[in-house]
Amino acid sequence: MERDNHQEGEAQGVKICDPPSESNPAADTLATSLSLLGNHMFPDSVERNERLGVNREVPADSLLSDVTAEESSLDAETPSNQIMKPETECQDNVSTQPAADRGTEDSAIDNDQSNSEEFVVTMLAKAKLEEQGLGVKGRSSPLLEAGNQESPAFMSHRDEDVTADSWRAHRKHVFVLSEAGKPIYSRYGSEEALSSTMGVMMALVSFVQSGDNIIRSVYSEEHTVVFLQKGPLVLVCVSSSRQSEQQLRAELLYVYYQIISMLTQASISRIFEHKKNYDLRRLLAGSEKILDGLLNMVDSDPSFLLAAVHCLPLASSLRDSLSQILQKAITPNLVFSILIAKNQLLTIVQEKTVIEDTRLEPTDIHLLLNLIGASSAFQAGEIWTPICLPLFNPDCYFYAYISYLDPPECTVCLLLLSTDKEAFYAVADCKRKIEEAMVAQNSLSLIAKAQSYSVSQVGVSDLRHFMYKPFDVPDNYRQLTQFTSPEMEAPYSSEEEKMRLLDLYRYMHSRIHSTSRPLKLIYHVAERETLLAWVTSKFELYTCFSPLVTKACAITAITKLLRWIKKEEDRLFIRYPPKYSTTPNPSKSSRGGKSDQQDSTDNGFLSLL
Amino acid sequence: MGESLPRVPRGSQHPSNTLSRPVQTLRVKMVLLGSSGVGKSSLALRFGKDQFKSSSPTVGCAYLTQVVHLNDVTLRFEIWDTAGQEKYHSVTPLYYRGAHAALLVYDISKKETFIRAQVWLKELERHYVPGSTVIWLVGNKGDLTEDRQVSAQEAQSLANEKGLSFTETSALSGDQVTELLQALAHRVYECIGAQQGGLSEWREPSLVTLHHKDTSNPLASCCKVGP
Ligand SMILES: Nc1nc2c(ncn2[C@@H]2O[C@H](COP(=O)(O)OP(=O)(O)OP(=O)(O)O)[C@@H](O)[C@H]2O)c(=O)[nH]1
Ligand SMILES: [Mg+2]
């Protein structure tokens, strides 16, 4: 089924965005680095003498990039060969472009690396040896002077043996390293144990950089390796998940933003300007859990794929009354009040002036939600922490107040964001007011009854699941990008089946958003279900039907579904995010939003490092 | 937090104390400092709920309150449980500024956390007039005797030299935790409580509404802390 489809479309190659360069000797090194990396991560390929191709995203007119050896040439010629072409698929699509049939020949040329072979093998053996020495040690860190050391109790995947097959078998590896090649984060296994692998990756990156190229991705039969450089950080994803390069890169970007949310972009640049080989783990020690949590959410929560926020369905009268409660409990420099239940948004109220020209991006909310999940606010009572919202402003901190309103269950969480680090007591007082008002209105028990809905409520037979993301319409374009989706129910109850459905969605999403050949409508008959994805100027929709549905049925079903969503809109979405004004002088809130924002930045935001 | 325990609930000490003996409540700002993982949050959880749960590293800083009754006064500890992770160090002054009490926590099974505690001490000393803050050296994880890297004598002599108090605790077993808080309360009251402008009196922010709340929802009074 799906898997095979993907396999067929698998491309092998390195894509490089470049002005073409002509550096033949260096290209040898590239080939070497590549195979080294390949062997290192996927040792089986050594035996099979697997071919790794080099693929550059070349401007159409510049023909063959001369990255040496034949291995590169064919892929470079046919950049469209990443397009996957599932067999069992009929396309009602608008795109008339024929699927570029990636021939078999592009993988036909053997990687003739007899010259480098010996070198690779020795290097590899060496790297392996080093790792064996370090393998299971975890993070004994010679680097931490004053003993700022992580407790073993906090370790999760950190102590995994990186030489074991199980380590290689992980579906998606994520690594973060500094430009100087210092390991910063690895999703599985400790960064130290992996330092040689990271070194290889960095060699690869810096080699390509030296030629003014930016390395973007490497494909092998089983894996996609995607690189993302952001400032002084290099992020690498090694995935066997069959996701598109674009999707994987978007996920790496989330990782980057989560790091920024803890340290700010400004301080990261400052640190590395100061000291090129700074060990950022000092500052990120203990944050692995936050990054691990993020990556798990990225894998299991479609919010990230859709770059949209999922809110808990709620009677609009209740949502409005909650918003009003938040609107009334304000204090100077408070900019966002967010109420969350069961990890979903209930409502969000924002300050008028600060937000005049900007809107809160879903990404920032995702990062906040992940932070809340990682914080121990449920034990601690009240949390007061600096946090940066990278898309709002990557260089400044907000101060977040986090507290649960319904102990001991701890499902309803209040998040108040202030620009004033000294405002804790004032903000905590807002919480007290909110709490009182919620008691008076019996809000907590009403919220407790709220829950996600079942697809059966839509009343369309054969429809198993869907995700609907409306686009901003002009009259409320400041609205937060949201999507709605029912609970995943049988047959998608088990974790494996959920993941399988999500993978199907990810596949549909990659087709819809393909850079080379975007589609508007896809009807995809998979083995155990039929999917239909449809994007218009008003919405993006992914639906999953039982396998027996006919195309005509599916179309009718979707019409019904859209009608149902329209009817339920007020309950499914936060329709008009309310605002308040905490600035003493409301005249400030007149248009020139940017400068106002600057003002409040000056007295409120404080860069910390 | 601790307000939910059989101690006097927050917001009701006046009514619940016998009218013949009105007890003054004084605010004590206390900060927990020390490397990540030494058990600051675990100690705080013991102080408040006498529980032990494995926890994750603190994000930023956790705030909780704990009421301690002495003979003729009630102290309301406002506890700032800071994060030990280095990325938060630059904000830590925000939390220890103006503290009446500081617990310098280390892990007896990790020498480097003891060294780190001394770095914190230096930092505190730079900012404080001696006598305005009660500083207490706390060797936590006393249960890990086999892995001990810092001897009690070593810590005690540091404490003597610097004029600190010193206790070894175990948040895991609960050993010496309540005792620590009691001793600390006495110490703070003796040293600072009597001073001119030492401890300020605590008043319920809005007594009327809180009373209303206390009667309408018993849960609301312990909203500060989860399970
Ligand atoms: N054996 C033992 N373990 C403890 C004790 N106190 C805490 N721990 C464990 O040590 C780990 C760290 O405890 P925390 O209380 O979270 O440490 P912390 O000092 O708050 O760490 P940060 O919030 O990162 O600064 C947890 O896994 C606890 O279960 C103790 O007295 N004995
Ligand atoms: Mg803690």
At A250-264, the pLDDT tens digits run: 999 999 999 999 999
Q: What's the CATH code of the domain at A383?
A: 3.30.450.30
**Rounded to whole angstroms, how far apart are CA atoms A79 and A516?**
9
User: Hey, which residues 119-148 in chain B have their CB within 8 Å of chain A?
Assistant: 119
Bridge-based pairing state of the strands B61-69 and A382-387: antiparallel
Q: Which residues contact A371 (CB under 8 A, 6 or more apart)?
A: A261, A290, A385, A387, A400, B59
Final residue in a domain of this structure, among A392, A425, A449: A449
Distances (CA, A) of A551 to A58, A543, A545: 39, 12, 10
* Choice among A4-8, A31-35, A204-208, A436-440 with the minimum mean pLDDT: A4-8
Block residue for tokens 């109420």: A339
Residues A431 and A486 in one domain: no
Name the nearest CA neighbour of A305 among A82, A528, A540: A540
A515 vs A205, residue with greater confidence: A515
pLDDT surpassing 70 at residue B140:
yes
Give me the pLDDT at residue A398, please: 94
Give me ligand 1 centre to Cα A148, in Å: 14
Does residue A603 lie within any of the structural domains?
no
Integer distance in angstroms from the first to the last C-alpha of chain B?
10
Closest atom of ligand 1 relative to the B38 alpha carbon = 19
pLDDT surpassing 80 at residue A76:
no
Distances (CA, A) of A279 to A145, A184, A326, B80, B156: 12, 7, 42, 29, 35
Give me the pLDDT at residue A480, please: 83
**Rounded to whole angstroms, how far apart are CA atoms A113 and A50?**
11
Residues A290 and A318 in one domain: no
Residue A384 to residue B224, Cβ atoms within 8 A? no
Residues on chain B touching A608 (C-beta within 8 angstroms):
90-91
Measured over the CA atoms of residue A119, residue A120, residue A125 and residue A128, the dihedral's sign is positive
Give me the pLDDT at residue A152, please: 36
Residues A226 and A287 in one domain: yes
Does residue A588 lie within any of the structural domains?
no
Tell me if B214 sits within 8 A of B12, measured CB to CB. yes
Does residue A429 lie within any of the structural domains?
yes
**Rounded to whole angstroms, how far apart are CA atoms A184 and A236?**
11
pLDDT surpassing 70 at residue B208:
no
Give me the pLDDT at residue A557, please: 95
Residue B172, beta-bridge partner list: none
Residues A340 and A289 in one domain: no
pLDDT band at A403 (very low <50, low <70, confident <90, very high): very high
Block residue for tokens 């009343």: A459
Whether B3 and chain A come into contact, CB under 8 Å, resolves to no
**Rounded to whole angstroms, how far apart are CA atoms A346 and A323?**
9
User: Hey, which residues 139-198 in chain B have their CB within 8 Å of chain A?
Assistant: none
Q: What's the CATH code of the domain at B158?
A: 3.40.50.300
Residue B59 to residue A146, Cβ atoms within 8 A? no
pLDDT surpassing 70 at residue A119:
no
Residue A375 to residue B58, Cβ atoms within 8 A? yes
Residues A324 and A407 in one domain: yes
Q: What's the CATH code of the domain at A233?
A: 3.30.450.70
Distances (CA, A) of A244 to A199, A240, A305: 25, 11, 11
Does residue B16 lie within any of the structural domains?
no
Token pair for A379: 């034990």
Token pair for A223: 């894996």
Whether B203 and chain A come into contact, CB under 8 Å, resolves to no
A503 vs B226, residue with greater confidence: A503
pLDDT band at A177 (very low <50, low <70, confident <90, very high): confident
Residues A502 and A549 in one domain: yes
* Choice among A176-185, A301-310, A439-448, B112-121 with the minimum mean pLDDT: A176-185
Give me the pLDDT at residue A343, please: 84
Ligand 1 near B139 CB (within 6 A): no
Give me ligand 1 centre to Cα A290, in Å: 18
pLDDT surpassing 80 at residue B113:
yes
Does residue A584 lie within any of the structural domains?
no
> Number of structural domains, chain A?
3
Residues A364 and A464 in one domain: no
Give me ligand 1 centre to Cα B37, in Å: 5
Tell me if A223 sits within 8 A of A236, measured CB to CB. no
Query: Once rounded to an integer, what is the mean pLDDT over residues A375-392?
Result: 84
CA distance A88 to chain B (A): 47
Does residue B159 lie within any of the structural domains?
yes
Give me the pLDDT at residue A242, please: 83
Does residue B169 lie within any of the structural domains?
yes
Does residue B205 lie within any of the structural domains?
no
Peptide bond into A152 cis (omega under 30): no
Query: Once rounded to an integer, what is the mean pLDDT over residues A422-448?
Result: 95
Tell me if A30 sits within 8 A of A207, measured CB to CB. yes
Tell me if A172 sits within 8 A of A225, measured CB to CB. no
Residues on chain A touching B143 (C-beta within 8 angstroms):
none
For A193-261, give the DSSP string.
Answer: TTHHHHHHHHHHHHHHHHTT-EEEEEE-SS-EEEEEEETTEEEEEEE-S---HHHHHHHHHHHHHHHHH
A497-553 pLDDT, tens digit per residue, is: 999 999 999 999 999 999 888 899 999 999 999 999 999 989 999 999 999 899 999
Atom 7 of ligand 1, nearest CA residue: B39
Atom 29 of ligand 1, nearest CA residue: B54
Whether B1 and chain A come into contact, CB under 8 Å, resolves to yes
B63-107 pLDDT, tens digit per residue, is: 999 999 998 899 999 999 999 998 898 888 888 988 999 999 999
For chains A and B, CB pairs below 8 A equal 168
Q: Which residues form the domain of A539?
A: 455-572
Ligand 1 near B174 CB (within 6 A): no
Out of B53, B59, B115, closest to residue A146 by CB: B115
Q: Is the ipTM of this complex over 0.85?
A: no
Q: Apex CA B140: angle with CA B133 and CA B91, to 5°? A: 50
Residue B36 to residue A408, Cβ atoms within 8 A? no
Out of A408, A422, A440, closest to residue B227 by CB: A408
For A560-574, give the DSSP string.
Answer: HHHHHHHHHHHHHS-
Distances (CA, A) of B85 to A75, A506, B59, B116: 47, 36, 9, 12
Measured N-to-C along each axis, helices A24-41 and A114-134 cross at an angle, to the nearest 10 degrees, of 40
Out of A285, A405, A608, closest to residue B223 by CB: A405
**Rounded to whole angstroms, how far apart are CA atoms A66 and A59?**
13
Give me the pLDDT at residue A149, please: 35
Name the nearest CA neighbour of A219 among A237, A234, A207, A205: A237
- The secondary structure of chain A in percent helix, strand, coil, rounded to multiples of 5, reads 40, 20, 40
Whether B30 and chain A come into contact, CB under 8 Å, resolves to no
**Rounded to whole angstroms, how far apart are CA atoms B182 and B69?**
9
Token pair for B180: 């620590």
Token pair for A251: 């996920």
Residues A237 and A326 in one domain: no
**Rounded to whole angstroms, how far apart are CA atoms B20 and A460?**
71
Give me ligand 1 centre to Cα B41, in Å: 7
Half-sphere exposure of A5 (CA within 13 A, CB side): 19
Q: Where are the beta strands (DSSP E) in chain B?
A: 24-33, 61-69, 73-82, 101-107, 134-140, 165-168
**Rounded to whole angstroms, how far apart are CA atoms B4 and B50?**
12
Residue A374 to residue B111, Cβ atoms within 8 A? no
Whether B200 and chain A come into contact, CB under 8 Å, resolves to no
Q: Where are the beta strands (DSSP E) in A27-171?
A: 55-57, 89-90
Residue B225 to residue A285, Cβ atoms within 8 A? no
**Rounded to whole angstroms, how far apart are CA atoms A295 and A370?**
10
Measured in degrees and rounded to the nearest 5, phi and psi for residue A110 equal -70, 145
Residues A336 and A274 in one domain: no
Block residue for tokens 């002599």: B157
Whether B36 and chain A come into contact, CB under 8 Å, resolves to yes
Continuous H helices in B97-227? 111-127, 152-162, 177-188, 207-216
pLDDT surpassing 50 at residue B181:
yes
pLDDT band at A606 (very low <50, low <70, confident <90, very high): very low
Q: Which residues contact B137 (CB under 8 A, 6 or more apart)?
A: B104, B106, B117, B155, B158, B159, B164, B165, B166, B167
pLDDT surpassing 50 at residue A595:
no
Token pair for A316: 């609009």
Whether B223 and chain A come into contact, CB under 8 Å, resolves to yes
Give me ligand 2 centre to Cα A392, in Å: 28
Q: Which residues form the domain of B128?
A: 24-192
Final residue in a domain of this structure, among A300, A320, A355: A300
pLDDT band at A608 (very low <50, low <70, confident <90, very high): very low
What is the residue-averaged pLDDT of chain A?
72
Does residue A202 lie within any of the structural domains?
yes
Residue A14, beta-bridge partner list: A218
Q: What's the CATH code of the domain at A532?
A: 3.30.450
Does residue B198 lie within any of the structural domains?
no
B8-27 pLDDT, tens digit per residue, is: 444 444 444 445 556 789 99
Final residue in a domain of this structure, among A280, A300, A320: A300
Residues on chain A touching B37 (C-beta within 8 angstroms):
149-151, 153-154, 286
Give me ligand 1 centre to Cα B38, in Å: 5
> Number of structural domains, chain B?
1
For A343-356, give the DSSP string.
Answer: TEEEEEEEETTTTS
Nearest ligand, CA B146: 1
Measured over the CA atoms of residue A211, residue A214, residue A220 and residue A223, the dihedral's sign is positive
Give me ligand 1 centre to Cα A403, in Å: 21
Residue B67, beta-bridge partner list: B76
Residues A534 and A394 in one domain: no
pLDDT band at B185 (very low <50, low <70, confident <90, very high): very high
A211 vs A383, residue with greater confidence: A383
